[in-house]
Amino acid sequence: MSIRAFISGCASLSLSSAETEFFSKVNPWGLILFKRNCDSPDQIKNLTSQFRASVKRKDAPVFIDQEGGRVQRLNQPHWRKYPSADVFGKLYSRSPILALRSARNAGRLMAEELEELGITSSCLPVLDVPQPGSHDVIGNRAYGLRPEVVVALAHAHMAGLMEGGVLPVMKHIPGHGRSTVDSHHNLPIVKANRAELEGFDFLPFTALADCPMAMTAHVVYTALDADNPATLSRKIIREVIRKTIGFTGLLITDDLSMKALGGSFAEKCERALNAGCDMLLHCGGDMGEMEQVAAAAGPLGGKAMRRAKQALKARRKPLPYDKKAALKDLEASLSA
């Protein structure tokens, strides 16, 4: 059966019989987990195994948002606490070497935890650069207020993750930092001119364009396409993300359930795919919505299939590392 071009959520701690049947029938490329899906290590191992058994693919990717700080789906007591990205940024202002080492080691420790659970990808780094007056939906999830700081720390964080056998997903391309509203609830409209965007917002994405996967921004940039948010904009995806920024990896939509996007799921899916997104993302775990996304997704093929295969090839066997030193760095960063 053909793989369908979407990543799905699920409702609870294990797959229901209806979800197992659904996944077996429609064969989504991947699964994404949220707090509602995470209780204990054994439970998550069972859930990821259930999913892979249902789609009959041992390499089917499983994603999670495990950034650290307030966006951390796995929490104590079973998993470590990780600092938000801005902690590394503040540390960088005092000791760049320590900050870079700590970010890399945090990524490596995080990867070890995820890999043991059967989770193959974490949706980080956040490459958005906040601006004065912007909404705190990004806030302390950003590494800093200067693109060069974001690039340095995100590269280190991403490298640690990949050294541990877990794939990163950079977000939210081409930049969510200027948004004055939360795209979970409203459609952000950014009025900066193209020169401002290229000289500031795009820089982290350009510098890390070799990341295997990226997640789009549900944001309208009036200077680029006044009528469509980036996720649904053929012009932004083809001309900005693929050419100006130079991203050649797998392009995944942000969650299609977010209120920034209007219309039915069928309409949103069709517009995203026609615009040039490779993969649809639906996170809510609502079966009725999942069925609509699956129907609209269609089979994964062509350039999208090649990019999906290339992304999975970027995953490596975990490399050895000094865990005691990494834990010491993590403690230092949390104390900071």
> What is the Rg, in whole angstroms, of the alpha carbon atoms belonging to the chain?
19
Average pLDDT over the chain reads 97
Tell me the pLDDT band of 336, cut-offs 50, 70 and 90: confident
For residue 186, give the 3-state DSSP assignment: coil
Catalytic positions: 184, 254
Q: Tell me, what's the pLDDT at 192?
A: 97
Say which DSSP state 37 is in.
G
Q: Spell out the domains of the chain, with CATH numbers in brackets.
A: 4-335 (3.20.20.300)
Q: Confidence band (pLDDT; 50, 70, 90) for 132? A: confident
Do 92 and 149 touch, CB atoms closer than 8 A? Answer: yes
Query: Which of 172, 170, 312, 311 is CA-nearest to residue 250?
Result: 311
Confidence of residue 213 (pLDDT cuts 50, 70, 90): very high
Mean pLDDT, range 239-250, rounded to an integer = 98
Range name among 143-157, 175-189, 277-291 with the lowest pLDDT average: 175-189
Tell me the two tokens of residue 109.
């420790």
